[in-house]
Structure 1
Amino acid sequence: MTAAPDRTLDLTILSTSDIHGHIIPKHYANHLPQEAGLAKIATLVERERARGGPVLWIDNGDLIQGTPLAYYQARIAPDRANPLIAAMNELQVDAAAIGNHEFNYGLDHLRRAVGESQFPWLAANIVDAASGEPVFGKPYFVRELEGGVRVAVLGLCTPYIPNWENPSHIAGLGFLDAVETAKRWVAKLRDEERADVVVVTYHGGFERDLETGEQTETPTDENQGYALCRDVPGIDVLLTGHQHRTIAGVRVNGVVVSQPGHRGENVAKVSLQLELREGRGWAVAGGSSELLSVAGVEADERVLQLVDEAERLTQSWLDTPMGRVEGDMVVRDPMEVRLGDSPLIEFINKVQMDISGARISNTALFAEDSPGIPSNVTMRDIVSNYIYPNTLKVIRISGQDMRDALELSASYFARSDGSGSTGTGDWEGGDSGAAYWRGRAVEEEVDEGGAAYWRGRVAVNPKFLTPKPQPYNYDMWEGISYVLDIRRPEGDRVVQLDFEGEPVRMDAEYDVVMNNYRSGGGGNYLMFKDKPVVRDIPTDVSELIADYILRRGTIEATLDRNWKVVW
């Protein structure tokens, strides 16, 4: 018979993740309201604190990059106090994990942010390459609560960062395996720090189905959440992020897990019931997780006022005139853009080619809400389309690498009827270079901007939608001519591939300009990883685009229709 507890205690652990610079609950592209941001998160956190009992709030990383506000602070006004850190200080967050996007503006920027913080940053597996010691302060912290309960929080980050990040931004750092690192430190927390509760905040996600344990993504060390729960004894709670998923109400191998999405749309709340038993100390008797949405929640006025000046300066900068566009670069349908050459994508590729000197370029439409560029161009329009602080690299690849990359991009598409069959009717090209069905009874024909295609016949492959949408991993190329026939099986969809009027030779070498994320193999484009770097251009692409427009004053929307998708 189990003895009744001498005492009980309820502990609440709140986590945010992948805030990505969002404080104000408005869209930067159009000023419309947005159910997101730290100002709304603050209201939820204060509600939980007001309930009484111990509350810990841990941010899971990817905090200081992702909005024009964050960009302005990092690139335009780096000597000003970081508004994101100021907000977190004011709200008294207990700790933050280092996320992969924390490195996007370089180590000096990250170190300044850490230095301004009144809370610890945790990353046990990010170490000095020479000494092997954790770089960002202590890898964990211990909080002693009422009754002597000792709660330890260990920080980990995905070690896959060197596959994406500009090498100069992580110079001198080592990134250790998260699972092996956790084994070492969790044992220390239990044995030496006498922790009654061990929480791991891990800026990474899950590589397996949480119920079945089946592998759900390409085996790498990018996401190791499932392995942490399965292979590391002594973890009570695993707070995750990075994948932008919403996860609650789940346990993995007895470990309470959560993930709160991104942009500050939710707070993940873990509720633990602790019991003190005679001669055995405190232990976790029960636990659960849930998500608290910011939808309908009022923004905290303290936060709005705290960042008001930084926000006003950012908005003024965003409205800086850049130049004019002759023609149409507006995005009306992102699927249309991905089915055939578009003026916006052609323009970005031409900028990359002009700056780098390369004759071949690729880029992506990064988000479904990319608006395109209107006639009167401001900085707001540029950063609303090129949303990442990427730089450029020219790398030397083979013709086979090029074909393999195009096949990977072609796998972005799935036939929405699921049949994979060609059906009946003739394939014809639309005005934009897109292909569409004629003579087939389907729901609706769409004609926007001169491009015609049948809505409902093309869908996004689920592997580009889970664990999070990945529109940024579908590339479109300039400088080559190609056709993707997505009626064909994956891996055999490139039916034409030419360079300067001749078929691309599989054994020949070609210099291609692309962003640093892709050149490092990001998005599973491993054919680009470790290729010779012909030229490194360390300036942010959004700055390069702005400078290109400023120098010309007026740019022309062009369309050479060098590629199309047949479906």
Structure 2
Amino acid sequence: MKDKLTLVYTTDLHGFLVADRYLTDQKSSHGLIQAASLIKRIRREEKEVIFFDNGDTLSGSLISLRCGEDMRYSNPMVNALNELECAFSVVGNHEFDFGRKYLDKAVDQSQFPWLAANLVKNRGGNPAFGPAWHIQTTENGKQVAFIGLSTPETADLAHEDAIKGLTFQNPIETLAPILKELKKLEVDLIVVSYHGSYDSKIPFWSQETPEDLDIESKICQKYPEIDVFITGHTHGLLSNREINGVHTIQAACYGHYLGRIDISWGDEGLKIESENIPVKGQRLEKNLLESSRRVLESTVEWLDEPIGEALDDFSFSSSREALMYPSRLMSLVHMVMQNASDCDISAAAFWKLDGWKTGTITRRTILNLVPDNYLHVLLMDGKTLRKALEQSLSFFECDDSGNVDPGSKIYTYDIWSGVYYKADLSRKVGRRITELTYMGSPVSDEQELKVAFYHFRTNGALGYEMLQDAKLVWKSKKTMRDYLLDFMKKHYELSVPVEFNWKLLCGEEVL
């Protein structure tokens, strides 16, 4: 007879109780309230189920922005996790986005522990959010130990005021005494829930990870006694894989998937299988939707509040136009970035291709324009700049007939400001730039320039590894959305000229 246990988890929910689109047309394709339907169904079907969350839970959606702006509301993500009897949540780097007061309030509201064994207080060195691990005993008497770890990158990603008095220790070093203690307790299963990723580069924000991709983890290499290694942070999607005999899974982001791990103890020993279940198409769980009604309605009212008047037309005739030609909308984004930071050049990706015509501008319009990211300024030489720009231009595909198509993942494509550039898309990827000048002069390989990016770009993911070699010289204290809203307060009547600083060609033909 086998003892069976099912683990289900969410990761990188980023405040998506429902999809942002629900706030406009009552339609949702992802989020915790939809994942809840799956969680409840699995609980009905299986004998014993433990549900938990792997971090980056509180910040990133329009609803979370509303709650960060008005802290009178109890946190709707925590309310939902409480109702779903969440066993624990891991502290992710984005938990600090709205400051410690916001995070501490959410933790106090939680009916479950927040785990981060390697996040310790400077005084005393004890875990900052309570116990280093959580042990749960199954109905059949099996002891399951859960260890929560937070990415050390938080020390660089979070604003310094939010993590004052805290130290992010090396997860590998943190695990050694914990695993030694758990060995003494003779637990039956060890699960490490890491709001971090792998040491090998997996596709970021990818909907599939090739089966032949070699997944590496120093944690799994060092500690093969771990049974299950759960990850997040990089928004990748993989399941049913092993690293050094340790079973591993990563369940994407924003509540698009629910991670499931089925565990059984039998005569043949321990058996572990995992899968990521798509949430799209699941119904919105009725009770959670109703209990969240007040904050949803308040968010809609807040988003629809007028904050400006557009004197110019910021709309597009098509997404192709937005991506292939200089625009007033992207010129606005660059103007805000350059006003906020001490930079020579800025690079920015579209977040949504939603422009607007002349007339009233609402808060919803502005918040949909850019991600809730901090700004980083990198000091880089001309050679690195050229590599990064070439990576941006790889977004376009050109066939043998000279037809050019933009890619679909718009967050991989940066449009640059402050430099003038031409690119021939009929050329091979990596050799498309035909002209690159700064202040009227060609950019040399040795020339040093300060370039502002959204901070998600500077970690080197999505093919931008060259940025890891550049020196970080400035980090913003506010997010890009904060700077944009501040800009609107000073420019209620909004008029922005188009910066015609780049041109795409196919051969000699201007596109």
* Structure 2 residue corresponding to 1:526, chosen from 454, 464, 468: 468
Q: Which has the larger radius of gyration?
A: 1
1:414-425 matches, cutoff 5 A: 414=394
Percent identity of equivalent pairs? 27
Say whether 1:411 aligns with 2:395.
no
* Structure 1 residue corresponding to 2:490, chosen from 520, 541, 551: 551
1:373/1:405 Cα in 2 relative to 1: closer, same or farther (>3 Å)?
farther
Deviation at 1:493, TM superposition (A): 4.9
Say whether 1:16 aligns with 2:10.
yes
1:192-203 matches, cutoff 5 A: 192-203=184-195
Q: Is the 8 A contact 1:361 1:514 kept in 2?
A: no
Aligned residue-pair number: 494
| Distance across 1 between alignment mates of 2:419 and 2:398 | 30
Letter in 1 for 2:25: H
Say whether 1:251 aligns with 2:190.
no
| Distance across 2 between alignment mates of 1:133 and 1:566 | 59
SS in structure 2 of the partner of residue 61 of structure 1: coil
Letter in 2 for 1:397: L
* Structure 2 residue corresponding to 1:312, chosen from 256, 273, 297: 297
| Distance across 1 between alignment mates of 2:432 and 2:305 | 43
Letter in 1 for 2:138: L
| Distance across 1 between alignment mates of 2:232 and 2:458 | 24
1:295 is matched with 280
1:487/1:169 Cα in 2 relative to 1: closer, same or farther (>3 Å)?
farther
| Distance across 2 between alignment mates of 1:296 and 1:459 | 26
Q: Is the 8 A contact 2:190 2:228 kept in 1?
A: yes
Letter in 1 for 2:488: I
Say whether 1:150 aligns with 2:134.
no
* Structure 2 residue corresponding to 1:65, chosen from 59, 67, 76: 59
| Distance across 1 between alignment mates of 2:398 and 2:418 | 33
Say whether 1:84 aligns with 2:84.
no
Deviation at 1:196, TM superposition (A): 0.6
Say whether 1:370 aligns with 2:353.
yes
- The Cα offsets for residues 10-57 of structure 1, whole Å up to 9 and x where unpaired, read as 101001111111113551574252221111212211222223522111
CA RMSD of aligned residues (A): 3.2
1:43-192 matches, cutoff 5 A: 43-74=37-68, 76-129=69-122, 131-189=124-182, 191-192=183-184
Deviation at 1:251, TM superposition (A): 3.4
1:248/1:169 Cα in 2 relative to 1: closer, same or farther (>3 Å)?
same
1:382 is matched with 366
Deviation at 1:373, TM superposition (A): 3.6
| Distance across 2 between alignment mates of 1:292 and 1:60 | 16
1:331/1:111 Cα in 2 relative to 1: closer, same or farther (>3 Å)?
farther
2:419 is matched with 480
Say whether 1:260 aligns with 2:202.
no
Say whether 1:541 aligns with 2:480.
yes
Q: TM-score by structure 2 length? A: 0.85
1:346 is matched with 331
Deviation at 1:317, TM superposition (A): 0.6
Say whether 1:42 aligns with 2:24.
no
| Distance across 1 between alignment mates of 2:250 and 2:261 | 10
| Distance across 1 between alignment mates of 2:315 and 2:24 | 14
- The Cα offsets for residues 220-248 of structure 1, whole Å up to 9 and x where unpaired, read as xxxxx633333312111122222323323
Q: Is the 8 A contact 1:269 1:290 kept in 2?
A: yes
Deviation at 1:506, TM superposition (A): 5.9
| Distance across 2 between alignment mates of 1:70 and 1:345 | 25
| Distance across 1 between alignment mates of 2:225 and 2:433 | 50
Unaligned regions of 5+ residues in structure 2, if any?
203-209, 507-511
- The Cα offsets for residues 78-123 of structure 1, whole Å up to 9 and x where unpaired, read as 2321111111112110111122222222233222222221111111
2:207 is matched with none
SS in structure 1 of the partner of residue 140 of structure 2: helix
| Distance across 2 between alignment mates of 1:130 and 1:149 | 36
Say whether 1:560 aligns with 2:502.
no
| Distance across 2 between alignment mates of 1:73 and 1:370 | 25
Deviation at 1:413, TM superposition (A): 3.7
- The Cα offsets for residues 290-337 of structure 1, whole Å up to 9 and x where unpaired, read as 233323322122211221111111110100112232333235655654
Deviation at 1:496, TM superposition (A): 3.2
Deviation at 1:359, TM superposition (A): 6.6
Q: Is the 8 A contact 1:29 1:380 kept in 2?
A: no
1:406/1:373 Cα in 2 relative to 1: closer, same or farther (>3 Å)?
farther
- The Cα offsets for residues 420-462 of structure 1, whole Å up to 9 and x where unpaired, read as xxx7xxxxxxxxxxxxxxxxx45xxxxxxxxxxx344x658xx
1:233/1:331 Cα in 2 relative to 1: closer, same or farther (>3 Å)?
farther
SS in structure 1 of the partner of residue 185 of structure 2: coil
2:509 is matched with none
345-354 vs 135-144, which deviates more? 345-354
